[in-house]
Chain A
Amino acid sequence: MKTKYFFIFAVVLILLFLNSSFNFVNSEEIPSTGSKILHEYHDFVLLGNSSLYSGVSFSETEDYLKVSFLTPGDLPYFLQDFSNVASALESNHKTYIKIDKSSELIFEAYFTERIGTSYVFGNNNFYVPKDSTVKFSNGVIKLEVKEGSVFNSLPSFVDSSLSGNSLEIEGQEIRLSDDFILVDGKVTLNPDGWIVEEGYVDYKNNFIGVRNDNEKILIANKDVKDYSGNYLRQTDKSLEIKSSENGKVNVIFSEDHEIFNTDKKDRLYLSLEKGDSILVSTRKDQGLIPSFEHKSSENGKTFLKNNGISFKFEDGKYFVDGINPPKTKEDFENKYQSVAMEIFPNSNTQDNEKIRINSYRQFKIMNKNNNDLVSYNKYELPVSALIKDNELQTIEQLREKYPNIKFNVPAGGNFNEENAPPYLFYLTDNFMNNSYDKNFPISNFEFVTWDNAAATKVNSLKIGEGVVDHYFEIVPRDQSPLTIFEHEYEHVKDNLISIEELEKIQEKYGESSEKMIALFNEREKLLIEKNNLDSQLSQAQGDSMKGIVLEDKYEEASERLKIIEEKIKQEYFYSQGSGTLQQTYNGLVTFAYEDFYENKQSRKMLEDFSKDLQKDIHVELKGVLKKHPDISVENPESISNTFEALEKNAIDLNKEDIALIVNLKGMYESSLLYSNVESTDEEKITEFEKAISSTKSSLIFNKEFLEKDYSVKSEIGEKYYSQFEKIFQEGTGLPYLYSAYNYDSQKSLDILESKYYEASSTLREMPEEKIIQKINSPVSQVRKTTKNLVQIAFDSGKMDVEKYKRLMGENHCEKSDCCDKKCLLYTLLCEGSC
């Protein structure tokens, strides 16, 4: 018996030796799990074992051996590689492998993996994650992988120089490797990499979609320049994507893309068709944004959507579609930011041009000498190729850069601190770099959604995304984003000057008269009262009733304080014969109106304007009459009779018609005041000013609100507003109609009490070349007003000497620091005169 066992043992050893020698010596043969099982099974049988062993059944035909895993149990030693296979009883489906007797390879299999194991089928070495099913037939190994599974290792070929069975992986959210996720779909193994057969994969943050056969794409792991299908290859330095002759590639580049350097707000999508290709190279080592080389083919087409700026490359040309900036809460919660890059288009343009896109939804096209050819939404802002100029993305970065200024996003808007648009921070940074003057410090920036901007609380700026990002349809006076900042900053400067003026008046003239002493005493008391209320207010947080009462008191004290301070400034004017800054601006606006009023040609322009306006008002009134044939007018050619008849029958009119008539009446009455104004009587100038304000308001109402609020279509505002503004600009020399906006309509053309706050700030909106043109205008009032505006800004320290010289002309001053031209119009705080 012992001899028998020894003999069998020797046979097994010899067989094993032969088997291993066979594998070893024959280099054509691939190490095979199948041959091992096949040979060892025969030994196993020779040893007298049954064909049913511990839940495994063996069945053999002429061609193959089938091993079925029926029930759980200990497997024979030669099946240890399959020890983690779930039996048919466990997996609820047939569970087997089939080994071809001639090739000794497994050629068919069907099983579910229990814990996650690597298998070798022929030349295929692959890992099967837990609970995944392997279906192998007809030369295709299919892995149906459980959702969310993770591969410990990527499938590969044992001998990479040889091919093997086709290996397919199908499933959802399958992590094939650290940088390769099968999101939903099917991939197959190829000697050059992976082919995405259908669905979506995320490879190194390239989110690839395959919806049709012509979109199948190879994710290459080596140089595949000669590959005829679609492919994508990414290395540490570059990303190459090519579409095949009839193919198409769709890729979304998601955040943390190594080559594009994307973040969570970036939105970048690419589609290549019919032979077009791109090569994107990182230039981090040079501190530059990536380069994006586009190669077009004869029938190719490329579409690149970089945050809503859609580039299309076709027929050797490239096109762009409009940008869709974020507007709603949902927009801000999604991706909306552009990815900085330089595109080198392979187009039919004459020069080696490039398209430089920054992180803030702007781009420009440059020639080989870096001259701008075309720019898009640039607004005189830098569009830089440096990474550091495109890095500002968060409010935290702003805080870090400007530690003395507070930056915040109040709750309740469409965005919060987390998803606030980097464009706002970029604008703020540019404003700080170009226009900020440390002598006029800003304490706080507040970023909001609304379509306006304001200077608040003396030296805070509130900036609305709606007005600087130009997504609302009304952008006042064609301002650029930076001039909006500068306009509001000018108010901050005026506010700070106003405070300093009071201190100076107190210091120098505080005791100059009994009245001045009394006024300053009163001011002192009010300041104490206001401060007390302020501290009580902070203590009353949580007690809303008390808070409301205190807030009212605080507002009331602030109002009284303002009145006293105004009185102090008036007293200063009376006693010293010169004005504060605001009084100087009030004087400028008053004189501008006088010049306007006194120039015969200006009046003629206004008269012509009012005649045309009246004609159109009449036409619109006739339109209303037409709808009401029962209303009779004594003399329909008389505009006043028409108004009268319509007003008498107002009860028969609908609210839309009434709104229109009220609007037209206001405009008509104002227009009457422009005719035959000959006298320079002071009262008449005031009337003239009121007529202008009233015409302006009614034109704006007609243009902007009538249709919106009352669904009434009227073309008058549209037609006449810019005409009216032009006449006003030529007649007064003031930058815009808004320059003469009076915050106290009861005190028009009053040097002491008017509130023409916008005269100062609107100058900042004009480009320098425009100001220079106006300073050199042939029209005396334009020259005078513009020069005076510049002079006041210079006198008050708001404009530096370099800008003053640029605007006034190099020969304007005798001294290099222009001290000979300092303090000409404003003196209270003016320093630096010779």
Chain B
Amino acid sequence: MNKKGQVTLFVIIAIVIVVLGFSFFMFKDKLFLKSSNIHTEEVSTFVQNCIEKSLPIVINEIAESGGYFFSPKYSTESGTPYYYFNNYDLSPSLEQIESELSENLEVLVSLCAEGSQNFTDLKVEFEEANVFSKIEDNKILFSVEYPVNITKEENTYFLKDFGTFEQNTEFKKFYDISQKIILSIQQENSLCMSCFSNFALENDLSINIENPYNQTFIFSLQERNNLQNKFQLKFKFAIEYEN
């Protein structure tokens, strides 16, 4: 073979190597996933199930805790957060609530996964879940990353991105009404019952007010036409004002 022919051969080999290498990096996830599907499917389904079951509970718990996973400093004895205290609006922003939803889902999914796993022949290790939530009108979106290492004999497989889950909910509507209630109290410096009844009527919900002690009022907003739903949304917050 002459030198020119040798060079051509080397070039072709190099191109083949580059193409193969490029293809490997391009399609490695697919290749691995394909090969690991047999072992990861069970785990993936299990985790997805945990996530799906957790969503309504998380939304409900966060709504009932006024948008918080753990009660904030300014809360009632029973842990309901003050949205209005000493003439200050302390209500959390939607972004804050999204972060609390994420934290709660991370914990719940981890508790579910750690507590329920029972995989034969597989060693499954869960790392920390990472959730991003987005509250929209009539729904909340949750993007879930949950790194999972699966070992089957000598082989290790990896799962991470579980995609985005969508849960229909009136959460935002309830939050918006809580803001209207705060605004009404700020403007009127009193509990404007006719305003509240208007909010309830317009939004097809009921508002329950409890006055556990002087100047503290706990508001619970509840859907009126969904009483049979076991995950009926109840949004709770407290206010304290002196008139």
Interface residues, chain A, with chain B CB atoms under 8 Å away: 311-312, 316-324, 345, 347-351, 353, 355, 365, 367, 371-379, 470-475, 477-478, 595, 599-602, 604-605, 715, 718-719, 722-723, 725-726, 730-731, 769, 772-773, 776-781
Contacts and interface: CB of A to CB of B under 8 A. Distances in A.
B138 interface: no
A324 B196 CA distance: 21
Contacts of B57: 773, 777-778
A324 B193 contact: no
A722 B194 contact: no
Contact of B70 (A726, A731, A769): A726
B186 interface: no
B171 interface: no
B86 interface: no
A320 B184 CA distance: 13
8 contacts: A320-B190, A374-B197, A374-B206, A478-B79, A715-B73, A726-B69, A779-B115, A780-B112
A477 B114 contact: no
Contacts of B224: 371-372
B115 A780 contact: yes
A324 B214 CA distance: 7
A730 B215 contact: no
Interface string B49-61: 1100110010010
A776 B53 contact: yes
Contact of A722 (B75, B213, B232): B75
Contacts of B210: 376-377, 379, 470
Interface string B169-185: 00000000000000000
Q: Which 8 A-B pairs have the closest CB atoms?
A: A478-B78, A778-B53, A722-B79, A778-B112, A373-B200, A601-B110, A723-B70, A319-B190
Nearest to B107: A605
A595 B224 CA distance: 38
A379 B109 CA distance: 33
Nearest to A733: B115
A365 B193 contact: yes
B209 interface: yes
Given A321-B191, A601-B107, A776-B53, 7 more contacts: A350-B202, A355-B193, A375-B206, A473-B212, A715-B73, A718-B75, A777-B57
A475 B77 contact: yes
Contacts of B235: none
Contact of A475 (B70, B192, B212): B212
Contacts of A367: 197, 201
Contacts of A772: 230
B116 interface: yes
A704 B209 CA distance: 25
Interface in B82-102: none
A769 B230 contact: yes
Contact of A776 (B197, B198, B212, B230): B230
B190 A778 contact: no
A729 to B, nearest CB: 10
Given A373-B201, A376-B211, A769-B232, A319 B107 contact: no
Contacts of B110: 601, 604
Question: Which of B224, B230, B231 has the most CB atoms of chain A within a 10 A radius of its CB?
Answer: B230
Contacts of B17: none
B193 A319 contact: yes
Q: How large is the interface on B (under 10, 10 to 19, 20 to 34, 35 or more residues)?
A: 35 or more
User: Which of B75, B108, B209 has the most CB atoms of chain A within a 10 A radius of its CB?
Assistant: B209
| Centre residue among B78, B110, B191, B193 by max chain A CB count within 10 A | B193
Nearest to A311: B193
Interface in B111-129: 111-116
A376 B200 CA distance: 14
B151 interface: no
Contacts of A718: 73, 75
Contacts of A351: 197, 201
Interface of B: 49-50, 53-54, 57, 60, 69-71, 73, 75, 77-80, 107-116, 188, 190-198, 200-202, 206-215, 217, 224, 230-232, 243
Contacts of B207: 373-375
A585 to B, nearest CB: 22
Contacts of B243: 321
Contacts of B79: 478, 722, 725
Nearest to A604: B110
A68 B54 CA distance: 101
Given A353-B197, A726-B70, A730-B111, A472 B211 contact: no
A376 to B, nearest CB: 5
Given A375-B209, A472-B213, A769-B232, A317 B195 contact: yes
A723 B69 CA distance: 8
B193 A601 contact: no
Contacts of B193: 311, 318-320, 355, 365, 374
B194 A599 contact: no
Nearest to A704: B77
Given A470-B213, A601-B111, A780 B116 contact: yes
Contacts of A601: 107, 110-111, 113-115
A168 to B, nearest CB: 41
B60 A778 contact: no
Contacts of B230: 769, 772-773, 776
Contact of A349 (B49, B54, B69, B197): B197
A769 B207 CA distance: 18
Contacts of A777: 53, 57
B115 A595 contact: yes
Contacts of A471: 213
Given A376-B209, A777-B57, A730 B194 contact: no
B157 to A, nearest CB: 20
B178 to A, nearest CB: 14
B112 A779 contact: yes
Contacts of B109: 778
Nearest to A596: B115
A319 B115 contact: no
B211 A323 contact: yes
A317 B192 CA distance: 7
Nearest to A325: B211
Contacts of B54: 778
Contacts of B202: 350
Nearest to B243: A321
Nearest to B60: A773
A351 B70 CA distance: 39
B104 to A, nearest CB: 10
A745 B214 CA distance: 36
A705 to B, nearest CB: 14
A374 B217 CA distance: 13
Nearest to A312: B190
B119 to A, nearest CB: 14
Nearest to B109: A778
A715 to B, nearest CB: 7
Contact of A348 (B114, B194, B231): B194
B218 to A, nearest CB: 8
A745 B193 CA distance: 49
A769 B57 CA distance: 12
A350 B202 CA distance: 9
B209 A374 contact: yes
Given A322-B214, A373-B197, A475-B78, A723 B209 contact: no
Contact of A778 (B108, B191, B213, B232): B108
Nearest to B207: A374
- Max chain B CB contacts within 10 Å: which of A471, A477, A769? A769
Contact of B211 (A322, A350, A374, A715): A322
Contacts of B50: 778
A351 B201 CA distance: 8
A779 B217 contact: no
A733 to B, nearest CB: 10
A316 B200 CA distance: 18
A520 B214 CA distance: 55
Contacts of A311: 193
A374 B194 CA distance: 9
